[in-house]
């Protein structure tokens, strides 16, 4: 495909097989292209019943279409084609994911994850970091990093959903001000909620929140365990933006001397990025992290780029030690 088409009815070209998920304004379905017989994921945004709604949804569709056409990375969902018909704006994507990271993390509350699933989580740190680093290098802010926008398919990880992303390719800086528009409260950065100036570091904060949940599950804790701890720290809610210190306390709480502890150190540094902006005394952050926290895009080191070089070393060491433990537990 790789083109956009205006057609009368998408049903004439695609058979629907399975509903994969539904968000605020879109649904995702597993579909089969009638001509080729190939299966794809289709993200469909219904037009709405008034002009204002249609215009808003069209802008969201065009924003994601532009991002997917420009961004190509092994850990991003791939754009195949797109179309508009009388009822919807639709993106045709690959792969058709098996499940979301959100589903895998929530499963821990019911039963411990299998050893291979835990090792997949370890490997996912580097995959997600490299995908986000690529987006930032190509002057895109994702703006909605969360477990529900991270997909698993055939052992591979994919970042998806660029519907509210920000493209600053033609702008001097990534920084924006004013109304942030849509955001997910649990994972958004403090400056987003407070309507302060924001840039790529807001994505890094959101990624840190996802990492907190990933490392918690790797260490055998459920998301409910995490939420209970946050509330017991006299925090007003389980949303990370209003309690960076409680999040850091949780990281200390789950430290157990295992090889996985190395992840806790750089997750805490990622949280510190926003902590400086949130009002924690600047003296509490070491000099190397201050460089990351200063809003000077042309001089600022990329935290996500640093992570892509450090994470693989940890996952190799950690996986080697943990596979045997997991197999012993299952035997």
Give the residue ranges of DSSP H helices in 108-143: 115-137
Cα separation of 79 and 2, whole Å? Answer: 7
43 is in an annotated binding site: yes
| C-alpha 194 chain-centroid distance | 21
Taking the C-alpha atoms of residue 149 and residue 160, their distance in angstroms, rounded to an integer, is 5
Angle at 107 between CA 101 and CA 109, to 5 degrees: 130
Torsion sign across C-alpha atoms 324, 325, 327, 328: positive
3-state DSSP assignment of residue 28 = strand
Cα(89)–Cα(83) distance, integer angstroms: 6
For the chain, the first-to-last Cα distance in angstroms comes to 48
Q: Which residue has the tokens 């979301």?
A: 100
Binding site as annotated, residues for ATP: 43
Binding site as annotated, residues: 43
């Amino acid at each position: 495909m790789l083109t956009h088409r205006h057609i009368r009815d998408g049903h004439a070209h695609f058979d629907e097989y399975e509903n994969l998920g539904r968000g605020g304004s879109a649904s995702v379905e597993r579909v089969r292209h009638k001509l080729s017989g190939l299966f794809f994921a289709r993200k469909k945004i219904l037009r709405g019943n008034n002009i204002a709604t249609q215009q808003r949804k069209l802008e969201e569709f065009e924003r994601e279409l532009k991002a997917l056409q420009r961004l190509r990375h092994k850990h991003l969902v791939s754009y195949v084609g797109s179309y508009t018909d009388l009822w919807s704006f639709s993106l045709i994507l690959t792969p058709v994911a098996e499940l979301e990271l959100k589903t895998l993390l929530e499963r821990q509350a019911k039963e411990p994850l299998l050893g291979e699933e835990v090792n997949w989580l370890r490997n996912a740190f580097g995959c997600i970091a490299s995908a986000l680093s690529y987006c930032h290098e190509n002057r895109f802010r994702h703006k909605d990093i969360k477990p529900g926008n991270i997909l698993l398919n055939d052992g591979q990880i994919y970042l998806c959903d660029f519907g509210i992303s920000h493209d600053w390719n033609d702008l001097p800086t990534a920084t924006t001000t004013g109304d942030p528009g849509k955001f997910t409260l649990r994972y958004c950065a403090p400056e987003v909620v407070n309507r302060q100036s924001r840039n790529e570091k807001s994505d890094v904060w959101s990624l840190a929140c996802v990492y907190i949940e990933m490392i918690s599950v790797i260490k055998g804790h459920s998301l409910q365990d995490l939420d209970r701890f946050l509330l017991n720290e006299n925090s007003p809610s389980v949303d990370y933006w209003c309690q960076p210190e409680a999040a850091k306390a949780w990281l200390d709480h789950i430290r157990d001397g295992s090889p996985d502890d190395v992840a806790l150190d750089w997750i805490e540094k990622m949280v510190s990025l926003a902590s400086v902006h949130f009002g924690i005394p600047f003296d509490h952050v070491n000099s190397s992290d201050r460089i990351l926290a200063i809003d000077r895009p042309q001089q600022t080191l990329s935290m996500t780029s640093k992570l892509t070089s450090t994470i693989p070393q940890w996952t190799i060491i950690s996986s080697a030690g943990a596979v045997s433990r997991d197999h012993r537990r299952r035997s």
